[in-house]
Chains A and B, each alone.
Chain A
Amino acid sequence: MKLPGAERAARVGLTDAEYVRIVELVGREPGDLELDLFGVMWSEHCSYKTSRPLLSLFPTTGAAVLQGPGENAGIVDIGDGLAVVMKVESHNHPSAVEPYQGAATGSGGIIRDIFTMGARPIAMLDSLRFGDLGETRQRSLFRGVVKGIGDYDNCMGIPTVAGEVGFDDSYAGNCLVNAMCVGIIRHGDIKRGAATGVGNPVILVGATTGRDGMGGASFASVDLTAASQERKSAVQVGDPFLEKLLLEACLELFRTDAVVGIQDLGAAGLTSASCETAARGGVGIDLDVALVPRREDGMVPAEVMISESQERMLVIARQGREEEVQCIFDKWGLNAAVIGRVTDDGMLTIRNGDVVVGLVPAKALAEQAPLRHPEAVRPAWQDDLLDLDVTRLPQQDDWTGTLTVLLGTLTIASKEWVYRQYDSVVRTNTVIGPGSDAAVLRVDGTDHGIALTIDGSGRMCLLDPATGAAMAVAEAARNLVCSGAKPLALTDCLNFGNPEKPEVFWQFSQAVMGMSDACRKLGIPVIGGNVSFYNETGASAIMPTPVVGMVGVVEDLANICRQGFGEPGSVVVLLGANTDELGGSEYVRLATGRTAGRVPLLDLEREKEVQDLCLTGIRRGLIRSAHDVSDGGLSVTLAESCISGQTGADLSLPAGIRPDALLFGEAPSRIVVTVGAGDLQALVDAAVEMGVPIAVLGTTGGALLNIDVSGKSLVRAPVVDLAAAWSDSLPQVMSV
């Protein structure tokens, strides 16, 4: 039996069954405006109806966790009465349509998520993916996204301290733009997005409301098509200056005690901010759209409710303190309009002047979207991907040439072209900026620091979603450890295709299980995150790409490490063991044009031991530099350490492994460190005690990188030549 409302449901992107549920929850057929609200709030983007059941697998608690998932951002204790607030979020769909504004508003949205918790934003990170930069369209997307991020973050005065960029054809139709913001806060100053106190005023502050970003949440919940390019009205327009004022005004407001709850207006705009704050507080909100300051004439109530105009916040203030709030926003030249009151009926009541135009339970909108449990089926083509006979890889003898080519591969090459466009040092706390394994920031007024990194997995995750996703967690933690930090917590952004396809949902469920496993074994809780589905164009989905943002604590800023080899004469030591695995490597892609093979084994216990040894060595002041083995394998790691340290090295690798796997295999759980000759024994002793295999590879110095195996030189090249290949590649491509 077809329901009369089924077509109406389809119009707002909902199913028949969801419509039936709406009728039950509301107790009648919803009006058009009410249905619009359900359309955006029950979209995948806002409701997580497909991903939520699986996300509950993540470990989300721990002694240091002050706020787990469910709020605008997660919060973790870093000692000294201080805490880090962080979250990563995708802005993939808008960026694919309008790269500059899409990326800029991605920054704007995530920054608001952080200061809405009461925190001062102190760092930005980004994880980006594009197609082949040989194509004009991809270069234009890349250039636009980088400029969008730079213009927004730079103007905000928040340093962009780290990031990563990868390239693969699967992202050609769906670039990935994941932005992460990190803030710092005193424990007692944490604000939450809950409305409480019947009669308290609901105040909309910041920018005016217009028709930009209409239905952005629904837009993000379907595949991108040719028609999407016409949907530029679904992309918001950012104004970082206005957001800077909003940030300072809000932080000034928080120094009073006039605020009981606050939430930024992101996806689904006023609708989500009002129903979510009401639902969290167990109250209702009664608001009048006629009181909303607008930038356009003729907007109907539904447009006001779902507009995603940027740089707005919803403040629930204490009754009688309205003038005080007004006064602060006046000072910063911003609007502050009382648009409603907190009520005790649990309803979101929407008026247009005297007329009630919408009346629905706030909880129904915010929390009661029916969960979906799509089918997960391992793709039939998965075995084809794994099929790789490494013994049949092309034989070769020019290992130096291959290393040089790999160094110039865009995924591996220097990203200085990108990060030179970002102010990475504003606020003068950046101790280690972009271009090392992790960024390190000083924590104001202490000797401590925090380390930050963002790492995504694409290739490995395509071949084995569970292991690949676990590798992203392991690598992020390893990067932090290489800087001298103990990993503390993570935030994730899970970028996948259309979950209604069983193959994609299999990838997603595998990845979540793999990540959960890694988080548990490494002892790192997930304190928040974001899921981005429907990253598809036509028939092709992106490689499954879980992205992990992680924070760690540096006990003493005197003991930190960079990736570049330090003083000449340092001893180069490999922590962990090489393997003969080549699957999924950049090298295989270079040699065969395929992302293929079985991914290397990830032994999380070994991983933890290697990380513990590295951290111990750094904290004891033994280790002078540390760089983990990842894209491109051991030889790329060694070359990068030479390039960053502007020194050569004369090295000899343990024999017994095929040369291609030894040089270019991407087995995890390996870190290349340097120590002073006098400290070598102490490091060896520590390794023995902790049961970690290590190998002395040689010493730094000179102008050449030389790598011997069994007395034969496989790689021998001036570091300046390797540096040129690594540094010039991206600028050259972008100068076309």
Chain B
Amino acid sequence: MRFAVAVFPGSNCDIDAYRALHDVLGRDVEYLWHRETDLSGFDGVILPGGFSYGDYLRPGAIARFAPLMEAVVRFAGRGGMVLGICNGFQLLTEAGLLPGALLRNRDLTFLCDTVPVRVENADTVFTRCCQAGQVLRLPIAHSDGNYAVDAATLAVMEQQGQVILRYCAPDGTVDEQHNPNGSVANIAGIINGQGNVAGMMPHPERAAEELLGGADGLFILQSMVQELERRQHEASRC
């Protein structure tokens, strides 16, 4: 099982993702430069946080045209698992792999905190290790995390269980008071209709060690690892 962590000029959580997967979970991980065009040999792709291309124009707007993204689109089209975190989430919406957009935070400032998020759908390949309704404590750090999507699309997403994480109170109550950035319906993370591409503003890769304040992010990362193990196992049986 091999993970690719994309590196765009300006990526800066590439190292966070690498460490969580490699140092904590002991998986094979490789950095992939934005000019690469070949994802063969990789089983999962992480689009990390940061400020790709300086967030010029708007976050993700330029990175979406990177050669690597063409490969990511093909990879996702074949059912490959792609997780976009923070800037990676913004990029996935810009690239059209996920619906909606990430707007400037409601309070117009950068926001760094650790917040509770509720697992809305535990029946996905990104949340399989969680319980439905489980509250995870995950770090956030962004200026543009205010998720927006039109009402019709949102209705479909809700109905299909595409909303996987919502900002909430420590007890799991979802309300406006516990919405850090103004996201519609407190949305913190979503998946695509096929269920193989996920985007989230919280950073599971920064919550992988108790020493650093909590390891709830492992529920997400382990879910990915389990799914890839399952796929490997199936492939070897064929």
Residues of A with Cβ closer than 8 Å to B?
A: 147, 150-151, 154-157, 239-242, 244-245, 332-333, 419-431, 442, 557
Contacts and interface: CB of A to CB of B under 8 A. Distances in A.
Nearest to A333: B9
Contacts of B19: 428
A462 B13 CA distance: 44
Contact of B56 (A151, A156, A241, A333): A241
A157 B109 contact: no
Contacts of A557: 211
B54 interface: yes
23 contacts: A147-B109, A147-B110, A151-B110, A154-B141, A155-B54, A156-B12, A157-B51, A240-B54, A241-B51, A332-B9, A419-B112, A420-B110, A421-B111, A422-B112, A423-B112, A425-B139, A426-B16, A426-B49, A427-B15, A428-B15, A428-B205, A429-B212, A442-B211
Tell me which of A147, A154, A428, A557 has the highest count of chain B C-beta atoms within 10 A of its own C-beta. A428
A156 B12 CA distance: 7
A110 to B, nearest CB: 18
B113 interface: yes
B99 interface: no
A422 B15 contact: no
A537 B56 CA distance: 37
Nearest to A150: B110
A242 B208 CA distance: 30
A150 to B, nearest CB: 5
Contacts of A423: 110, 112, 141
Contacts of A157: 12-13, 15, 50-51
A207 to B, nearest CB: 13
Contacts of A154: 51, 110, 141, 143
Contacts of A419: 112
Q: Which of A147, A150, A423 neighbours the largest number of chain B CB atoms within 10 Å of its CB? A: A423
A425 B112 CA distance: 9
Interface in B109-134: 109-113
A419 B209 CA distance: 22
Contact of A421 (B13, B50, B53, B110): B110
Contact of A426 (B12, B54, B109, B208): B12
A101 to B, nearest CB: 15
A431 B10 contact: no
Nearest to A430: B212
Contact of B206 (A245, A425, A442): A425
Contact of B212 (A147, A151, A333, A431): A431
3 A-B pairs closest in CB distance: A157-B12, A241-B54, A423-B141
Given A424-B112, A431-B212, A241 B10 contact: yes
B136 interface: no
A241 B11 CA distance: 10
Given A151-B110, A154-B110, A425 B12 contact: no
Contacts of A442: 211-212
B201 to A, nearest CB: 13
A420 B13 contact: no
A156 B54 CA distance: 9
Contacts of B139: 425
B187 to A, nearest CB: 21
A199 B61 CA distance: 45
Interface in B1-48: 9-10, 12-13, 15-16, 19-20
Contacts of A245: 9-10
Interface of B: 9-10, 12-13, 15-16, 19-20, 49-51, 53-56, 109-113, 139, 141, 143, 205-206, 208-209, 211-213
Contacts of A429: 212
B54 to A, nearest CB: 3
A332 B53 CA distance: 11
Nearest to B12: A157
A715 B139 CA distance: 36
Nearest to B9: A245
A430 B206 CA distance: 10
A422 B143 CA distance: 10
Contacts of B111: 420-421
A203 to B, nearest CB: 21
B12 A421 contact: no
A428 B109 contact: no
A241 B112 contact: no
Contacts of A420: 109-113
Contacts of A425: 112, 139, 141, 206, 212-213
Contact of B16 (A244, A427, A431): A427
Contact of B10 (A151, A155, A430): A155
Contacts of B213: 425, 431
Contacts of B15: 157, 427-428
A423 to B, nearest CB: 4
Nearest to A245: B9
A241 B55 CA distance: 8
Nearest to A428: B16
B109 A421 contact: yes
Pick the most buried of B112, B141, B213: most chain A CB atoms within 10 A of its CB.
B112
A427 B20 CA distance: 11
A442 B113 CA distance: 19
Nearest to A417: B109
B111 to A, nearest CB: 6
A503 B51 CA distance: 48
A429 B20 CA distance: 12
Contacts of B211: 431, 442, 557
A241 B9 contact: yes
Nearest to B109: A421
A607 B51 CA distance: 45
A94 to B, nearest CB: 21
A134 B51 CA distance: 35
A425 B12 CA distance: 11
Nearest to B139: A425
Nearest to A422: B112
A242 B54 CA distance: 8
B93 to A, nearest CB: 20
